[in-house]
Amino acid sequence: MRRAIVCIGNRLVAEDRAALEVYDLLRGQALPEGLELVEGGLAGLDLLPLLERGGRVVFVDQVRGFAAEDEVVVVDREEIVAAGSGHYGHEAGLPYLMAVLPAVCEGEMAEEVTLVGLEGRCSAQTIARAAAISLAIAEGGGPCSG
């Protein structure tokens, strides 16, 4: 099964760079064979092709209102879609991408999509925890496996 971890964020904004710090941490490690690590940056709908190749996709992104500051939360596909407004705009992001996926997918849609969300500004320990959780989910384990 194809597996990918996609880290989303903006390195220039302190409140939106935690997922890219997870990317940097994972990039410096030996990853399991066949695991694709992607720096998604601010790609938005340009990430759609990553979801059109089937398999398991773990997004890592900053979230608001899911957990306490400096915490990690795991959100499934349905919760991601429910968090969105249903309308495209600057803040639409991942919820909009997940909502339109069934209508626009031209390939094999990812069977499993999970979001590892980082709430607020995160400590190095929280970044490491998010990286471990992302790896565990990508490899087929639950969030407690990491």
pLDDT at 87: 44
Tell me which CATH homologous superfamily contains domain 3-145: HybD-like (3.40.50.1450)
pLDDT at 144: 46
Cβ proximity of 71 and 16 under 8 Å: no
pLDDT under 70: residue ranges of the chain: 81, 83-107, 109-110, 142-146
The encoded tokens of residue 56 equal 């398991």
pLDDT digit string (tens) for 57-89? 899 998 888 778 889 989 877 777 676 655 444
What residue ranges do the domains of the chain occupy? 3-145
pLDDT at 90: 42
pLDDT at 104: 65
Exposure class string for 78-89: b at 16+ Cβ within 10 A, else e: ebbbebbeeeee
Place of tokens 């904004």: 13
Sorted by sequence, the CB contacts under 8 Å of residue 16 that are 6+ apart come out as 9, 10, 62
Amino acid at 31: L
Cβ proximity of 70 and 127 under 8 Å: no
In this prediction the pTM is 0.83
